[in-house]
Structure 1
């Protein structure tokens, strides 16, 4: 006889069966992706689809809350969603046979659509979701039948000649099959993703790259770096450089097969290989990059020494035509950015195709083998990673990834200043306290930085000697701090005499603004 308690037990086991079926779905799909199409992982494709469709406020919230771990947070969220959906499918299959199988089939269709519509999808990209769906449905149907047989056996009268067999055989069959299927899915899934990650890793390829010595190098002037504890270093180490992009997993690009196509409104279509770029000769450029998602006082800004070739030289080979005003750059994963043509052809702007960062080939997460770096523009309209196409066009004709999502098509950087030390929430002792930070105004340069304590007089800070007008400068001011709480504010003036914007503005549509004002505790 089935009691309410035993009924709940079977519902719980039905949920477990659904989770196991979901795990089999993903494991088979991962294994098939390893064989047929490396980019056809359902969980990663759906994750990339989510990144594309979520509203702008949620994107900004994720970047602000999780920073460079936003992709991990998304994957964890997707994992929980898959877990819950799989459990529901298992319960549906138990309560009403075929409904759970239909639910898994629908999941397969949706994940397949997410896979085949990606820019990097191959001709066999449809196979992993199909095979995964078949595996998940088969396991769910079998486990559903076993579970119902167990339930029926538990409510039926025992067979006199062998009561133990009639009561426990179906339970053992269900538990054994569930355990084997679940364990196999875990082993196959983890092995498939691990093998895929190892065999597709760009790191081994990257380490084998031998870049030619640059024809010119960046000279760091004496006094370019101030010796202040807690102050951001002049050159941001690669490991600490911010990362914000739409790629759920880092694309793997072999420089041996990489090509850059320049087409659109040009006199002739050009296709360059990685070696073609190297043969043009490399030069060093010190350039600060800023993300449009950087809030006042935020850390989504960094300074590096890049090696590359001028974009104007590359575009000149194709011959941009009259009337063109934009370059639509495209990444291997389909991401696009709209850069004013004038910004990449002006002789006074060091817009480059970069192949190295701080003395080594670009790290995979920063665009290996080739990325764009354009001073004076926010990254979302200029700093395309894993770039593979430059289309000369017009703003009227084409739009990039972020434009329909509420961001400006053109986004010159709003120059800014940041307080690095002392930090809010970290008390300092009374006495001489260095107040220090960085300030940037790409293509123009910083003229001075001023600091105000408790809304008092604005006093000039000491500036480091700039490397050039495209990099940030460090600044410091000695503060005779007294016990209590104090407000420290900072602002900058660029070399055109413009004062940093005081009014606060949100990230969208073209970058935040405002003076940083921090509450500092002095003990």
Structure 2
């Protein structure tokens, strides 16, 4: 029962049960961690900061886990693994906040004096911010005081300090709200009976508990809604590919085939992030430095003054399985990359061109690949500015190279005379990343039923990077015999080839195993050898099963 403070009584220091006090202190810290996380997510989504504390921790965990574990999650649950890792880190932040609540209770003792609580909350939040920037950032491979963050160093230090102070303020408030003695002021009890005093005390006690439950419930509900909506959208809000894949290769009235250009909304998206950076185009800058004669800095206005080139370019992810969805072809517009390097002046001895992205991602290509005429700094996709997920305001398009090296959200280009291992290469992925010849059956889908005695059109894609596809063959008897499919010449030097094959299975119910293979220029047949995506990309013949009725 709560203590009523009357004008005849002095304020006594309230005694709490130790276990209840520890649990409530942990809850106060966890609530402060939730508030900090909610604001951090909002800043990340609004583009206030390209990277958050949780991003840095997630990247470090992924690198420490090693390529074997990373590839296991990629192949088992796909991109959802990133969301699960990020969610785990967010929950970890809340748990750490809970332990800091226990620390506040320990150093504060059994007093609820506001001045003491606020002072200790400030000491904890500031002390742990200093610990984060002095020891935490180096442990996260970001250097002392975040020197490895480069352009984002100052912004990260300031924003992290603000977030830690927000944590401290919320911690102090939650601690006082949940654990502090509530003084109800003076109450004239001289004319009240003992029963009336007890009734007032019970009512006040009930109001206090209700207020505290409302406080806890509101913060918890907002945390669950914000985190759930944000991560759920990223995890389950991907493109709906069924209709697009079913129509891929259908004949248009003008003789062209549907699906040669993948709609932006259907184009796959892969990055190391759960939340991709929301880059402000007005303040965006792109620098070229390192072994150059004239270091350059461009903004969108200066980039727009360069001559444009339009390219049809297919991107595919190195983690794509045989027949997987991580492939798409688009019409891109941008600047020939060689033009930018020529303006900067490439010094003798350069071996690699290193790309730095707004999210801290780094990768590289050889100087020879960078100087190829079709290597492009793209600023538009399918006739519109790049979307956030596809690298706004500028990204790389590199012929014959898997998507991981086609850096998005580009902010820096550095020329060096040594080799370089980027984010994924440090986890064991191939540093050359040359695209393997691949082909797949897009429609019908694996497990479908088709009518026996009638013609079914098999449709699909074949791709060999910048190497042309000469022939596509389909087998309907598990590779015993092969039939030549009709192919349409690709629309660009680095785009996929669409194919069709009309198949009329005998009438009756029967199961069939279908396979496809492609032959690239020079008569080089796609390898039948099966390989997992890690570390150099998947290979083998795409195989599906169909049943006739």
TM-score, normalized by the shorter chain, greater than 0.5: yes
1:275 pairs with 2:301: yes
1:145 matched to which residue of 2? 179
Q: What does residue range 363-442 of structure 1 map to in structure 2 within 5 Å? A: 363-381=387-405, 383-396=406-419, 398-430=420-452, 431-442=454-465
Alignment partner of 1:298: what SS? coil
1:290 matched to which residue of 2? 316
Structure label with greater radius of gyration: 2
2:268 aligned residue (225, 232, 242): 242
Q: What does residue range 26-175 of structure 1 map to in structure 2 within 5 Å? A: 26-27=37-38, 38-39=49-50, 42-43=53-54, 46-47=57-58, 49-50=60-61, 53-65=64-76, 67=78, 71-82=82-93, 113=136, 117=146, 118=149, 120-121=152-153, 122=155, 123-143=157-177, 145-146=179-180, 162-166=197-201, 169-170=204-205, 172-175=207-210
1:203 matched to which residue of 2? none
Q: TM-score, normalised by structure 2?
A: 0.74
Structure 1 window deviating more from structure 2 (32-41 vs 51-60): it is 32-41
Q: CA deviation at 1:296?
A: 0.8
Mark the CA change 1:420 to 1:189 in structure 2 (over 3 Å): closer, same or farther: closer
Q: CA deviation at 1:292?
A: 0.7
Task: List per-residue Cα deviations over 1:445-502 (Å, max 9, x = no partner).
Answer: 1011111222321221111122133110111212222422211111111012211121
The answer to whether the Cα contact below 8 Å between 1:31 and 1:189 also exists between their aligned partners in 2 is no
The answer to whether the Cα contact below 8 Å between 2:519 and 2:525 also exists between their aligned partners in 1 is yes
2:332 matched to which residue of 1? 306
Structure 1 window deviating more from structure 2 (400-409 vs 270-279): it is 270-279
Structure 1 window deviating more from structure 2 (496-505 vs 54-63): it is 54-63
Q: CA deviation at 1:261?
A: 1.6
Q: CA deviation at 1:319?
A: 2.3
Mark the CA change 1:179 to 1:104 in structure 2 (over 3 Å): closer, same or farther: farther
Q: CA deviation at 1:324?
A: 1.6
1:233 pairs with 2:269: no
Distance 1:506 1:235 in 2: 27
Alignment partner of 1:227: what SS? coil
Q: CA deviation at 1:64?
A: 4.1
1:153 matched to which residue of 2? none
1:183 pairs with 2:209: no
Q: CA deviation at 1:256?
A: 3.3
Q: CA deviation at 1:90?
A: 6.7
Alignment partner of 1:412: what SS? coil
Q: CA deviation at 1:415?
A: 1.4
Distance 1:451 1:179 in 2: 64
Aligned length: 475
What CA RMSD, in Å, does the superposition of the two structures yield over aligned residues? 4.2
Task: List per-residue Cα deviations over 1:172-203 (Å, max 9, x = no partner).
Answer: 43441452365368679989999xxxxxxxxx
Mark the CA change 1:280 to 1:27 in structure 2 (over 3 Å): closer, same or farther: closer
The answer to whether the Cα contact below 8 Å between 2:51 and 2:277 also exists between their aligned partners in 1 is no
1:522 pairs with 2:548: yes
Distance 2:128 2:501 in 1: 59
Q: TM-score, normalised by structure 1?
A: 0.77
Mark the CA change 1:84 to 1:433 in structure 2 (over 3 Å): closer, same or farther: farther
2:489 matched to which residue of 1? 465
1:155 matched to which residue of 2? none
Q: CA deviation at 1:81?
A: 4.5
Poorly superposed stretches of 4+, deviation over 6 Å: 6-15, 30-36, 87-112, 184-194
Task: List per-residue Cα deviations over 1:89-147 (Å, max 9, x = no partner).
Answer: 77898899879989989986787646974553415123223213312431453255259
Distance 1:45 1:517 in 2: 40
